[in-house]
Amino acid sequence: MGRIAVTGSVAFDTIMEFAGRFGDHILPEKIKELNVAFLVERLEKRRGGTAANIAFSMALLGERPVLCAAVGGGDFVDYAAALEADGVDTSGVLTCHDITTATAFITTDRDGNQITAFYPGAMARAAGVDLGGLAGVSEVVVGADDADAMALHVEQAGSLGALLVFVPAQQIPAMSDAVLRRGLDQAWLVGGNDYEFEMIRDRTGLSIDSLSASRMVAVTRGAAGSELHTPDGVSAIPAAAVTEVVDPTGAGDAYIAGVVTGFRAGASPDVAGRMGSLAAAYVVEQRGPQRHRFDLASFHERYAESFGASLDLCSDVGA
């Protein structure tokens, strides 16, 4: 088992909570000359981004993933140090010294409606992240990123002879049909939620059943659990119990981290799916996609409590 490279976004999320309702402050008859301001009661800056979230949870599970993403020059220093301290290899990062790391500004009202502004920053240069120089890579995760970078990294995964984990997520609309089909065709594992797979079907005509005829497909369905579809059948995965749902942001990233880590340790689809489910449960219990903590012993213990069976793997996680 070689190294795993994780591509995708690295970002800062600035979360603001508005106690009122947006609809009460937006006049329909004035929508063409909109000028509103919202006084927020809570502001929090979080570390996030698809690639960083996946790599973070993999590291908690004992892996040493290589983060391969474009970041800003000055604002990523502390972020990088924190990831390294948790076991993420940041040597694959492309640092752009004249620009900042991608940033999302998200305002949420009391009904859960959101207004988001996203500045891609260094992510727009992610096509400069070259996987060709990485040695001993056996899997490449291609997560949501600059669309051109995703196309490049799909091709580079093939050149490396690595298994491709394709998780296009929110970038599905931004990708050309050719690039989306190329990622799906080459993938060893395709991951996403049920809505994203509906978008894939609308774009390509490929259903979950047709995709899983020659590869694995991981489909998340929120509180209803998930499914792992393989050429040999479907494994229905229950959602792991949570103490309290605080924030679902990043749960899908943790799910992919758990599933892929499980497969790398020789797990069956049933077990790998449950590892993903449990990793996601840790995330939703905290605010932010990288606030959860566990060690392998506590993960094994909670797995047994959640699913009524011990976590038996063919090899040690992260070996």
Residue 288: per-residue pLDDT? 87
Report the alpha-carbon distance of residue 248 to residue 175 in Å, rounded: 25
Strands 226-230 and 233-237: antiparallel
Residue type, 177: D
Residue 271: per-residue pLDDT? 96
List of residues 6+ apart from 270 with CB closer than 8 A: 228, 235, 237
Domain segments of the chain: what residues? Answer: 3-10+49-102+120-307
Report the alpha-carbon distance of residue 111 to residue 114 in Å, rounded: 9
List of residues 6+ apart from 25 with CB closer than 8 A: 36, 38
3-10+49-102+120-307 adopts what CATH topology? UDP-N-acetylmuramoyl-L-alanine:D-glutamate ligase (3.40.1190)
Residue 319: per-residue pLDDT? 52
Residue 74: per-residue pLDDT? 87
DSSP string for 3-52: EEEEES--EEEEEEE-SS-GGGT--GGGGGG-------SEEEEEEE-HHH
**pLDDT per residue of the chain (319 residues) written in tens, 0 to 9:** 799 999 999 999 888 989 999 888 887 887 788 888 899 998 989 999 999 999 999 999 999 999 999 999 889 999 999 999 999 999 999 999 999 999 988 888 888 788 888 899 999 999 999 999 899 999 999 999 999 999 999 999 999 999 999 999 989 999 999 999 999 999 999 999 999 999 999 999 999 999 999 999 999 998 899 999 999 999 999 999 999 988 888 999 999 999 999 999 999 999 999 999 999 999 999 988 999 999 999 999 999 999 999 998 876 665 5
The distance of Cα 156 from the centroid of its chain, to the nearest Å, equals 20
Residue 315: per-residue pLDDT? 66
Residue 249: per-residue pLDDT? 85
Residue 316: per-residue pLDDT? 65
pTM: predicted TM-score of the whole model, two decimal places: 0.92
Query: Of the residues 89, 109, 146, 253, which is catalytic?
Result: 253
Active site residue 253: yes
